[in-house]
Amino acid sequence: MAHVTYKVVRHEDGWAYTVNGVFSESFPTHAQALAAARRAAGEQRVPGESESIEYEDENGRWHTELAPGRDRPETDVDDSA
């Protein structure tokens, strides 16, 4: 099972959270960024419906797969900022 960590960090003139090196929007306070990270982490764990997905790989080939709606990652929030 995949694991995703939301990390609260200083960003621009405020705070944000990052996931795999990608920043969220900026928040004026640490508390707002932490609440947003917790909300996003919780939503990531919610199961959905199984769906067929299509994607192109690095060689230009297209693939079709079934993405199980219950295959959700484990998540946590790192608030060491």
Question: Helices then strands (H, E): number in the chain?
Answer: 1, 6
User: Is 1 a residue whose pLDDT tops 90?
Assistant: no
pLDDT of residue 13: 93
pLDDT of residue 16: 98
- Tally the domains of the chain: 1
19-48 pLDDT, tens digit each: 999 999 999 999 999 999 999 999 999 999
| Distance, first Cα to last Cα, the chain | 27
Domain that holds residue 43: 3-56+64-78
User: Is 65 a residue whose pLDDT tops 90?
Assistant: yes
User: pTM to 2 decimals?
Assistant: 0.77
